[in-house]
Structure 1
């Protein structure tokens, strides 16, 4: 399904390398990568520490569905689109809601058509 993203070292290793570099560069943290299925298109990034939620003490009353870190999902999805990969990125666990870690789920959907996004000269 994702021939473009597969390499001789595997999707998980490539995702680990990119996530380590990007998260370390922009947020100062290193996430763990977990693969969830045998087709290798569903992964999770597990953040033991989340710098975006560091200064939030508790969610406001009546706003339990609020997700301060949803920004990360949009950034990851946009970065994957820049390399022509469509993905569904969602929050699976959030420390602000009582979970032990922050977990971001990534499901690769398809490779986007590069011709559609090429600049015309």
Structure 2
């Protein structure tokens, strides 16, 4: 039996919902295991980093992207291809006008908080989605780009938008190889 070419299978939605619910249970368990929000945030970042260093291979194999020549191209690729591919959303990109290496991803919709209305009581400094920062940082490091990735704003903390800041720390080197004669 074949399915119509324009219909997306329903199991993608089920898998995303399962992931979001499992992620919520993970964060809840970490909040029980660690007293300090900083420890939970660090653990989520470390987990995300591990995912990112493994996920980059899948991303490169499935996306067929070409080599990027600027931080702007890399950030657009993260927003328009990677987020769409793995989370089904496309964040908008803003650039810091005074710096060529600072960007922000604005998430109108964050699937990780789909079933979350507010942070747990007494956890005001918890960065619930810090896993995303680790994923981005880990993936970038695997392609030899060092970056600082942090949440700048979070709707769960009462901000108007969810914003992830990316600051590239290592200068993008454009090596020109000379052909030996």
Same fold flag (TM > 0.5): yes
Please say which structure displays the higher CA radius of gyration.
Answer: 2
Correspondence 1:69 to 2:126:
no
Structure 1 equivalent of residue 138 of structure 2: 78
TM-score relative to the length of structure 1: 0.80
8 Å contact 1:84–1:111 — kept in the other structure?
no
8 Å contact 1:12–1:33 — kept in the other structure?
no
CA RMSD across the alignment = 2.1
Correspondence 1:19 to 2:75:
no
Q: State the shift of 1:14 in Å.
A: 3.8
Larger relative helix fraction: 2
Q: Deviations over 1:43-82 (max 9, x none)?
A: 0011010000111111111111111100000000001101
What is the 5 A alignment of 1:1-121? 7=69, 10-111=70-171
In structure 1, distance between residues paired with 2:144 and 2:171:
6
Q: Deviations over 1:5-53 (max 9, x none)?
A: 862xx53244213321110110000011111134310000110100001
In structure 1, distance between residues paired with 2:163 and 2:136:
13
Cα gap change, 1:13 to 1:111, in 2 (>3 Å): closer
8 Å contact 2:136–2:149 — kept in the other structure?
yes
Structure 1: state its 5+ residue gaps. 113-121
